[in-house]
Chains A and B, each alone.
Chain A
């Protein structure tokens, strides 16, 4: 009797587990599709043989071609200068990645490892500064950049970002804080200098968060819109975000939508690949930032 009840219970448990599994899988599939719809939309329209997204009588494009991809690389006019934008953004993001990562990591290292007068004050000030909406001060940034004679070129954006690198140390510092102090005590006994300690011990130990920092720094030129829109006046010096945004204004959208899609695909593929490849470092980075704030 007892075993019968048990097996019945087991059966119902197994059944509920199967039902649960079916439901969960179905839900994940539906969600994945939901999340991919806009992606499909971009890809499909990047192959459309029309110029606009407006289709009078059908939902999907009527004809497909590879033209958009060829045209964004070969044709440049007053509105679209994709190869220029792409090149600018790529150069900018590589420089930005190297410099910003370097300064952010060194700031984080110092704030995490050194105890000096005014350290707590410095950290509180940077935290408060982070709460001012960034572009509120853009008018002044604009004037200072023009004082430095940098206006109009995308190097101005690099200067601005590198100057701000010291303020974005929170996540990286949080990670450094979790590294045990014993290591540098041992290294100090061996007579290693602080600089050597930093380059030879901490950088390798903090690899996940450094990759995270680098990825973020690499991404910022691709995501930027505001800075580019303020600092840069000529079309060919623009970065990708601002340039492509202008293709979507009411005046341009009907002529350039499909080329916008093609350009977006070209931009997105390497970035998405980077993200997927570096996913685990990304998780390490945001988890460090989360726990330590």
Chain B
């Protein structure tokens, strides 16, 4: 929001901020033209749609779609509950809390966006501020092509015979022209990679791409369509390399014509200078494509197939000998997750517990670590190094050791039960891990044991960064310890650690180890369900993929994965992009 008022007047509290935003909206609405008014008005009930109207095309439509989906989900789950499906009240409450938060966020951000866009129109009603990635991409492609051809024609007409031949050759084969200019490294890279990729594509790649269109050709639904994706990526590589090769040849010709031709030696030395970024990033980028991007693409596509061997809802008559051929099934897997009552129950329960787990785990460890660091920072404590090392031991122990040991301690026949029986606090053995509530509380407590030392180290590092003079000033003013904490220590630490809070919230959503090693997801409570009572999304995902006996449910797992991704990506993108550390990348130098 870059309206005049916001830059001149800084609101100090929440109420003032709201009043200011309302005021800004009113003023902008008065000042803007008809289209601006329409967009701003539409954004109130239908967040995103108005923004799209005012030029923020894809972002606005996406936001509107998300908004629509959240309402749909809220109403749908409500109807299901009304229809008598056994949804746990607590999990349902958590789900609704999250949905309401999401809606609130959408309204607020659409409200602010509409002020911004309306203000743009008020300033200059004759210009349409289009912020469309699609349009931007197309126009820059057009401009780039035009520029390329202009330069190409100029170089061609002014070129020698050799240069003309090399320029023409560049259209048909990659690398030869570069070799003609004695650029051996680039020439060979282009030539060899082109030859290799084309041979691979002819030998099997094109067939694999064909399989992508008709999955049922695959003899068994074993996910072999990953090869089709690999082939698609290779085709993408060819296209990308072709264009960058054309540009290379053109710029080499231009350099030659200016008499500044690059020598082979010059090319070699540029590899460790200007092009060091290309050289250094090659392997990491290739690795990321091969083992992260291609697998993720595969996983996302899996959600739209019937890739699973399990006999569920539609497939009761599944015959293992005949088998159902793999095929694209659209949104069937999504539908199954939400329409099938047992998987809806699983979904709501697991979602609720995931959110509770991630929130509580993050905050307990964060504040626990902060308090412990403050405690260890006290002057009165002698032997700080020793204590700190003791806590580091807990952090350093491989998690499977510490967690499995704690699991056995709290086992039905473990030491804790023995002690409690001895003391007479229990009359019979109690199974901590299969009782849902007890297991959940215990998981959170054990997680504090695992997580607090990490935060303690982090916080003690950060406490050193707080300027001492602030405390001295506070001492002169006669501030109490608590006042110093609330007005100096905590705000400083909180400011520095906002990114940490987000990352660790996302990490906790993805925290497989603690849940898996302690309870293995717990006992399955719902009839015909697959999720245990302490399963979070990620452990449920693991079960669906690898554990469901001999009948993994890959497509359902992919849907759960996509949902998880949407949650963690929205959380972190929204907050990261706003955080100062991300935006002010250069400021630290």
Contacts and interface: CB of A to CB of B under 8 A. Distances in A.
Interface of A: 17, 20-21, 24-25, 27-28, 31-32, 34-36, 38-39, 41-42, 53-55, 58-59, 103, 106-107, 109-110, 114, 116, 122, 126-129, 131-141, 143-144, 147, 159-160, 162-167, 177-181, 193-196, 198, 219, 222-223, 225-226, 229-230, 240-241, 244-245, 248, 253, 257, 260-261, 264, 267-268, 271-272, 274-276, 279, 282-284, 286-287, 289-293
Nearest to B406: A38
A28 B392 CA distance: 14
Contact of A165 (B272, B284, B411, B558): B284
B272 A133 contact: no
Contact of A244 (B299, B397, B400, B516): B400
- What is the size category of the interface that chain B forms with chain A? 35 or more
Nearest to A123: B585
Contacts of B582: 293
Nearest to A195: B272
B358 to A, nearest CB: 13
Q: Which 9 A-B pairs have the closest CB atoms?
A: A166-B284, A293-B499, A163-B287, A137-B295, A21-B380, A140-B295, A275-B396, A195-B272, A287-B461
B576 A293 contact: yes
B227 A147 contact: yes
Interface in B280-323: 280-281, 283-288, 290-296, 298-299, 302
Given A131-B565, A244-B401, A292-B581, A55 B418 contact: yes
A267 B398 CA distance: 8
B350 interface: no
Contact of B226 (A136, A143, A196, A287): A143
A238 to B, nearest CB: 12
B291 A163 contact: yes
A271 B499 CA distance: 28
Contact of B288 (A35, A167, A196): A167
Contacts of A167: 284, 288, 292
Interface string B271-285: 011101100110111
A160 B288 CA distance: 9
A211 to B, nearest CB: 14
Given A53-B411, A110-B277, A139-B223, A131 B457 contact: no
B150 interface: no
17 contacts: A35-B391, A36-B393, A39-B393, A55-B415, A59-B419, A107-B284, A128-B573, A131-B506, A137-B295, A140-B299, A163-B291, A166-B283, A166-B284, A179-B589, A195-B272, A198-B276, A279-B389
B395 A275 contact: yes
Interface in B530-589: 537-538, 541-542, 545-546, 554, 557-558, 561, 564-565, 568-569, 572-573, 576, 579, 581-582, 585, 588-589
Contacts of A257: 408
B462 A290 contact: yes
Nearest to B500: A290
B393 A41 contact: no
A151 B573 CA distance: 36
Contact of A114 (B276, B290, B546): B276
Contacts of B407: 248
Interface stretch (B168-176, B183-191, B371-379): B371-379
B503 interface: yes
B390 A36 contact: yes
A39 B376 contact: no
Interface of B: 223-224, 226-227, 229-230, 269, 272-274, 276-277, 280-281, 283-288, 290-296, 298-299, 302, 372, 375-376, 378, 380-382, 387-402, 404-409, 411, 413-415, 418-419, 422, 449, 453-454, 457-458, 460-462, 465, 496-497, 499-500, 502-503, 506, 510, 512-513, 516-517, 537-538, 541-542, 545-546, 554, 557-558, 561, 564-565, 568-569, 572-573, 576, 579, 581-582, 585, 588-589
Nearest to B372: A31
Nearest to A242: B400
Nearest to A291: B496
A225 B511 CA distance: 13
B376 A28 contact: yes
A173 to B, nearest CB: 9
Nearest to B272: A195
A103 B393 contact: no
Contacts of B396: 268, 271-272, 274-276
Contact of A293 (B294, B401, B503): B503
A103 to B, nearest CB: 5
B281 A166 contact: yes
B579 A268 contact: no
Given A42-B401, A177-B589, A272-B393, A109 B457 contact: no
B231 to A, nearest CB: 12
Contact of A136 (B286, B513, B545): B545
